[in-house]
Amino acid sequence: MIRLESYVSGRWQPGAGRLTTLVNPANEAAIAEASSEGVDFGAALAYGRAAGAALRALTFAERAGLLKAMAKVLHANREELLDLAQTNGGNTRGDAKFDVDGAIGTLSAYAVTGDAMAARLGDRKFLLDGDFIQLARNPRFVGQHIRSTRHGVAVHINAFNFPAWGTYEKVAVAFLAGVPVITKPATATAVVTWRSVQLLVQSGCLPAGALQLICGSTGELLSRLGPQDHLAFTGSNATGAALRNTAGFAENGVRVTVEADSLNAAVCGPDVEVGGDVWSTMLRNVVQDMTQKTGQKCTAVRRVFLPADKAEAFEEALVDALSGVVVGDPTTDGVTMGPVSTAAQLRDARAGIAALAEGNRVALGGAAPVDGVNAPAGKGYYVRPTVISGANARTHDLEVFGPCVSLLAYDGTAAGAAKGIGQGQGSLVSSFYADDRGWIGDVVAGAAPWLGRMQICGSKIADMATPPGMVLPSMLHGGPGRAGGGEELGGERGLLFYMQRTAVAGDRVVLGKVFGTGE
Ligand code: NAP
């Protein structure tokens, strides 16, 4: 049995008291234990805050070097991390790669961003926001907006579904901004995060105090956060809402960003030819979103909007494609979809499917229990790919975090599509399949306020576009409303969460020297 330890104040701490048991979701065998009881969270915060000075002293080029070194360590140990992702997360090999390679890729992408910033900024550590603004009749008196790295720590709390990518997509951005991190993975799937931090610590590439890890509960850590600290949370809307209301957050102005649930949609435009390239891409993307990570992706499609004349053909094609999915122990040859990750997820997914199915037609799958291939009878957290035809009162507000979609008819207009998107009350991403530029323009105008990211897939890019469920480091990740209102990634944009914007007024010549604008 692996005993997960927290890495806090420069040493590994096993925690005391009652231990939480982590299992292999394919067969429910216990594999690890964790507790953070007894960890001195006050000392961890002080240690992290003190480490900030050394990180801030690094140039962007040096911070990029740190990210490259971290990516190298994870890459060198990729096979071990993939194995652990399979055992603790119920991942197929492909799912595990999506998580682990996503972590390595995002660290590497932010290293490239850092190098580009270094080429522009040299050794300067602050960012300029706009140009000089003349503030008086005499042009010597000017204003300049700048962004500088805040002096606190970043607490990162992550969801269970991406223990590698979820951890390092946040760490990459905070480190490039110069902010130390205390990271907390979801306890149920923490093995990959724990091992990756262990590898990084052993490699010696991390500056002291830059990265601390909590395996287990955060105890009283959050209530100790102060005005320069940050909380970046990924998880359910309910937990996100509760954490926003942490005692002291409002009074101290603790900066919070939340990435939460989302009822992402795919919309078939009226001009899509049944069986054509765009149609096939849409079908492939919906199947991938439903089955990759067993549908446990925050960006996975939950609602598919179809014009009435294409609804039957799409349902038939989708059911046909999903009928070949083999559900079972993901380490078994031939299995193409593993279990959901925890007993609680299984319970919620089955209850959610039953709720969405009420009054509607279940075209495939359903909420009934199912055994997985090569899993002991009655053991493991398996769900069948499920297609529900039609809407009910829950369709636009209940996120089933598993392999389930609802097929919904709409009138084919851009206004109808935008209305359907908006019914989800704010989503991370939605994809639109069409070539008609007038329809696309109207749908962007109508739906963009409800979305963090839109993917417009027409015939010219059908065979080259990345799937909409894939989060790219160069594009924003987050969404309005129930998706949490957060913004992560997006290249350099992601750093702004960790920086303070300050308006500086003064002598054009002096400020020009200080800011390196050459004036
Ligand atoms: P969750 O139950 O909200 O837990 C998320 C994280 O919050 C876990 O690390 C959990 O730790 C921690 N947590 C829970 N209560 C806490 C508290 N009182 N104080 C401090 N930390 C606390 O969500 P989940 O079940 O892991 O994830 C599923 C949900 O996340 C889905 O609804 C999905 O949509 C959403 N999600 C969103 C994104 C995104 O990027 N927007 C990505 C992935 C998932 P423990 O595990 O120790 O309880």
DSSP string of 313-326, one letter each residue: HHHHHHHHHHTT--
Q: What are the beta bridge partners of residue 256?
A: 231
- Determine the distance separating the centroid of ligand 1 and the alpha carbon of 382, expressed in angstroms: 21
Q: Which atom of ligand 1 lies closest to the CA of 190?
A: 46
Amino acid identity, position 507: D
Predicted local confidence at residue 487, as pLDDT:
96
Predicted local confidence at residue 272, as pLDDT:
98
d(CA 136, CA 143): 10
- The residue whose CA has the least distance to atom 47 of ligand 1 is 187
- Determine the distance separating the centroid of ligand 1 and the alpha carbon of 325, expressed in angstroms: 28
- The residue whose CA has the least distance to atom 16 of ligand 1 is 239
Q: Is 461 exposed, middle or buried (0-12, 13-18, 19+ CB in 10 A)?
A: middle
Q: Report residues of the chain scoring pLDDT below 50.
A: none
Domains of the chain: 39-260+486-515 (3.40.605.10), 264-472 (3.40.309.10)
Q: For the whole prediction, is pTM greater than 0.85?
A: yes
d(CA 325, CA 377): 19
Residue 302 Cβ contacting ligand 1 at under 6 Å: no
CB count within 10 Å of CB 255 equals 19
**Ligand 1 pocket mutation, candidates 36, 99, 157, criterion most atoms within 8 A of CB:** 157
- 211-238, pLDDT tens digit by residue? 999 999 999 999 999 999 999 999 999 9
Question: What is the distance of C-alpha 84 from the center of its chain?
Answer: 20
- The residue whose CA has the least distance to atom 9 of ligand 1 is 186
Pull the structure tokens for residue 516.
Answer: 């390196």
CA distance readout (Å), 392 to 96, 319, 407, 430, 471 = 34, 21, 11, 20, 30
Residue 187 Cβ contacting ligand 1 at under 6 Å: yes
Which among 482, 391, 472, 465 is positioned nearest to 428, based on CA atoms?
Answer: 482
With a CB cutoff of 8 Å and minimum separation 6, the contacts of 53 are none
Report strand pairing: 29-34 vs 264-268: unpaired
Predicted local confidence at residue 519, as pLDDT:
59
Q: Which atom of ligand 1 lies closest to the CA of 344?
A: 25
Catalytic residues: 259, 298
Residue 177 Cβ contacting ligand 1 at under 6 Å: no
Contact indicator for 267, 189 with CB cutoff of 8 Å: no
Chain position carrying tokens 């961003």:
113
Q: Is 125 exposed, middle or buried (0-12, 13-18, 19+ CB in 10 A)?
A: middle
Predicted local confidence at residue 517, as pLDDT:
82
Predicted local confidence at residue 47, as pLDDT:
97
